[in-house]
Chain A
Amino acid sequence: MPITEEHKKRRGRNIALALVLVGLVVLFFAITIVRLGGQG
């Protein structure tokens, strides 16, 4: 199946969303460590 412009856009959106989700996981992990450490 040929890769259309729409496929490229969807792939770009999926990668961006994956990066945002990974970023949120790292962020919440860091917040938890700091808050549990009693330094916040």
Chain B
Amino acid sequence: MRENTIAVQSNARDAAESGARAADYFALLKPRVMSLVVFTALTGMVLAPGELHPVLAAVAILCIAVGAGASGAINMWYDADIDADMKRTKNRPIPAGRVGANEALAFGAILAGGSVLVMGLAVNWVAAALLAFTIGFYVFVYTMWLKRRTPQNIVIGGAAGAFPPMVAWAAVTGDISLGGLALFAIIFMWTPPHFWSLALYRCGDYARVGVPMLPVVAGLRETRLQILIYSVLLVPITLLPWFMGMVSAVYGVMAAALGVVFLAGAVRVFHDGSEQQKPARQLFGFSILYLFLLFAVLLTEGLVGWT
């Protein structure tokens, strides 16, 4: 780890000399995570009761996207030492030496402050405070405190990824209400099976860099059991928007059907003992599609207004 830190510092100096491309700064924002954040936030905004001027709605979504990106940049600054040692992350701009570590930190901090300030001035201060809390939660609670200390890192840290629809909801209503909490709960419960199925077949990487992901600390069997438990809890929670009357039975039926497929995947992971971890890879891939489809139906229902 120490050698990596020195290498990252050396890369940072090199980056300052050679200069980064604009695309490298964009990569610091974790654009793929950002796109999911924008999508879930948009859904929260559409489902929230009330009116928001389209320009201010666009500003709110932009602020949430930039705030999420800023969190990603600060996360990459803090984790540059371990990123350099993992297959999935070693080509990120800092470990690859394309952007200096301090530059990335400054970039993230300015964007984080800017996004909160603009949200407060243009939209409302409840949404701004919630956005600031989300960024702070991801950076301080997940990245700096939990990630390297406990196998429950992504359970609690996953809350950071679940906040965006609540922030967008607050942008419209000016408060935190049950509808926003229901969307939060879906993403919160989805995160552990999603990340643990990835960790099942990447646990070698995490073990090498000392991140105590569940498979590393508790073993593969326990991780598979936990994936199954969280999946069983997730499916009824995805039905909450229907039970609460936010959307029609169309969503309810879709969520139940998708939930059955998700549960079947979790059961296959639970019974799998193979080296290749094929069911875990499949569940990880399906989990992304699953969340996307759930929110796509919620978004469509919000736009069409079937309820």
Interface residues of A (CB under 8 A from B): 5-6, 9-10, 12-13, 15-17, 27, 30-31, 34-35, 39-40
Contact digits for B47-64, partner A, Cβ 8 Å, 1 yes 0 no: 000000101100100100
Q: Is there contact, CB below 8 Å, between A34 and B55?
A: yes
Q: Judge whether B87 is part of the interface by a CB distance below 8 angstroms.
A: no
Given contacts A31-B122, A35-B122, contact A13 B56 (CB under 8 A): no
Q: Are A31 and B55 in contact (CB under 8 A)?
A: yes
| B residues less than 8 Å from A16 (CB atoms) | 22, 25
* Smallest beta-carbon distance B94→chain A, Å: 16
Q: Give the A-B pair count, Cβ closer than 8 A.
A: 38
Q: Which residues of B contact A31 (CB under 8 A)?
A: 55-56, 59, 118, 121-122
B20 touches which one: A9, A30, A40 (CB < 8 A)? A9
- Write the B25-59 contact mask toward A (1 if CB under 8 angstroms, else 0): 10000000000000000000000000001011001
Instruction: Enumerate chain B residues within 8 angstroms of A13, measured Cβ to Cβ.
Output: 19-22, 25
- By secondary structure, the A interface counts as helix
A39 to B56, CA, bound (A): 10
**B residues with CB within 8 A of A:** 18-22, 25, 53, 55-56, 59, 62, 118, 121-123
- List, in ascending order, chain A residues with CB within 8 A of B123's CB: 40
Contact of B22 among A6, A15, A34, A39 (CB under 8 A): A15
13 more A-B contacts (CB under 8 A) besides A13-B22, A31-B56, A40-B123? A5-B18, A9-B19, A9-B21, A12-B22, A13-B20, A13-B25, A15-B22, A16-B22, A30-B55, A31-B59, A31-B122, A35-B122, A40-B122
Scoring A6, A17, A39 by chain B CB atoms within 10 A of each residue's CB, the highest score goes to: A39
Task: Across the A-B interface, give the 4 residue pairs with the lowest CB-CB distance, nearest first.
Answer: A16-B22, A9-B19, A31-B122, A34-B55
* Measured CA separation A31–B62 after assembly (Å): 13
Q: Are B56 and A40 in contact (CB under 8 A)?
A: yes
Nearest CB of A to B219, in Å? 47
